[in-house]
Amino acid sequence: MNYHVVIVGAGPGGCVLARELAREGIPVTIYEKGSFSQLGHDWSDLVEIEPLAAAGFEIPELEGNRWVGTLVKKETEDEGLFEPHAIPRLKLYSPDYQAVKEIKTGMITTDRRKLGQELVEQARQAGAQIYYHREGMQLLYREKGNSLEDLEVYGVTVKDGEKGECREVHADLVVESSGYYSILRKSLPAHLDLARHFPNSEFAMVHREVRLRDREKAKNDPLPDHYRYGYHSGYQWSHVHTPGKIDIGAGVRYAFNQPDPRDIIEEYISRHPSIMAYRVRGGRSPCIVGKPLDNFVAPGFLVLGDAASTSIPTTGCGTGSALMAGLWASRVIAEAAREGRNDLGKLWDFNRKFYRDGSRGAHLAALSAVRPMLQSLNHDSLNHLYRIGLLEGGELEKSINGEFMAPPLLQKLPSIFRGLSRPYLLRTMGRVLSLAGQIYRHYSRYPAEWEAGSFSQWKTEAEKLFSRVYD
């Protein structure tokens, strides 16, 4: 087929996309800045089961609090995709540990490095070409006017990290799957909203370590799988991987006056003698938790994954969204390739799938409105909300799993107002949740087709709604 797709960045979404396009016989090339051994992150993350299954991975069987299956790691080995310890029920603690809610998770602890390597291998075996140590520097484009539809992306400049040389690579379609730096997207003309820079307020700083655990001392040092939700504007957690291995982490708002998440981890470890000093894996990284882009496409260009800010704002988990985006994009691009098209009208179908058909985008947009409110509350206020029952397990369960659910909370507010202290806090929460509900409904009505006037009108209303988030 005479239709060439270039994908910059071997992220989960880009690799799934490359695999699916290659299986359709569409020529596709991946340029990855790092090496094969550096793909993914050097830790295991909670990843949504549904997108993993949709991407073709065999999900293990749940037996008690253990996963059983061919892709599960053995107790004494590190081979395998999934950690053996299951977390069907997760405890959510208030910052002071005095209140706890228990939620059901639709996630499985997944080795991010092995997931990244497996996905890129699947793409290669399907026929995609992959070049490592190649960095996308900027998009090649022409402008016929000032509007989005007047843009024409026809390729990308790629730098060879080993030789230091740059060359132009022409393509019918360029896809960015390079992470939150989103260098290519930001190389577009500044007057286009697609080139939006993510401010620091839309990031969290996360640090995590996998430590060995003394099994004998663990008998008198129980450590439940839990999230300490709202701690220092973020969260702190511990997840057991095996009886002799535990994952401890913390995430805080990306701001100068916030504590170092590593210090939070060290303080937690100091209270638990079963956690040993030896670090098995780990690292730190900024994590995008802001609202998703209002548009992911331009003529000849598409962006997905962290480069499009599609993580769950309340947790920072982005792998599930990236996998689903890769699958949705593959269907749109395969049809576009068969028709020999790369225009805005055709690629717009990806926006529709993300915001309307799957409604994932509408949930993420609503949760991104709730996040700043939760981050603005101090520990005392959050502890209070836990104690009076406003932060209930059901609502928290939805938000942790990437879904927005406002009505039950809003129905409770009138009765909670009466006879309780801190009505200002409840009023603030009620206002934000009501606004988030409006945002969810607005994004659910995302324009199904590209038309400059209707999109401009929709976008103006979206901007008005989000301007009220910080009022």
* Domain locations in the chain as residue ranges: 5-39+115-199+290-359, 201-288, 363-467
List strand residue ranges (DSSP E) for 11-54, in order: 28-32, 44-48
Each residue of 62-95: b (16+ CB within 10 Å) or e? eeeeebeeebbbeeeeeebbbbbbbbeebbbbbb
Query: What's phi and psi for 470, nearest 5 deg?
Result: -105, 10
Q: What's the helix, strand, coil split of the chain in %, to 5? A: 40, 25, 35
User: Closest Cα to residue 352, out of 372, 368, 335?
Assistant: 335
CA-CA distances (angstroms) from residue 30 to 21, 81, 174?
A: 12, 23, 10
Specify the fold of 201-288: Alpha-Beta Plaits (3.30.70)
3-state secondary structure of 360: helix
State the residue for tokens 């992150």.
41
Beta strands in 299-449, from DSSP E residues, in sequence order: 301-303
- Would the CA dihedral through 401, 405, 408, 409 be positive or negative? positive
Report the SS3 class of residue 172. Answer: coil
Give me the sign of the Cα torsion angle 305, 460, 455, 188.
negative
Provide the 10 A C-beta neighbour count for residue 122: 20
Average pLDDT, the chain: 90
DSSP for 337-351, written as a single string = HHHT---HHHHHHHH
CA distances 245 to 92, 187, 251, Å, are: 21, 43, 20
Q: Yes or no: is domain 5-39+115-199+290-359 CATH 3.40.50.1980?
A: no
Whole-angstrom distance, CA of residue 440 vs CA of residue 434 = 10
Q: What pLDDT tens digit does each residue of the chain (471 aa) get?
A: 689 999 999 999 999 999 999 999 999 999 999 999 999 889 898 999 999 999 999 999 999 889 999 999 987 777 899 999 998 888 888 899 888 888 888 899 999 999 999 999 999 999 999 999 999 999 999 998 889 999 999 999 999 999 999 999 999 999 999 999 999 999 999 888 899 999 999 999 999 999 999 999 999 998 889 999 888 888 899 998 888 999 999 999 888 888 999 999 999 999 999 999 999 999 999 999 999 999 999 999 999 999 999 999 988 999 999 999 999 999 999 999 999 999 999 999 999 999 998 789 999 999 999 888 777 888 888 887 777 766 655 666 777 788 887 645 444 544 444 445 666 777 777 788 889 999 999 999 999 999 999 999 999 999 999 998 876
| Extended strands (E) in 315-429 | none
| Residue 115 burial (CB count, 10 A) | 25
Residue 421, burial from CB neighbour count under 10 angstroms (0-12, 13-18, 19+): exposed
Cα 71 to chain centroid, rounded: 23
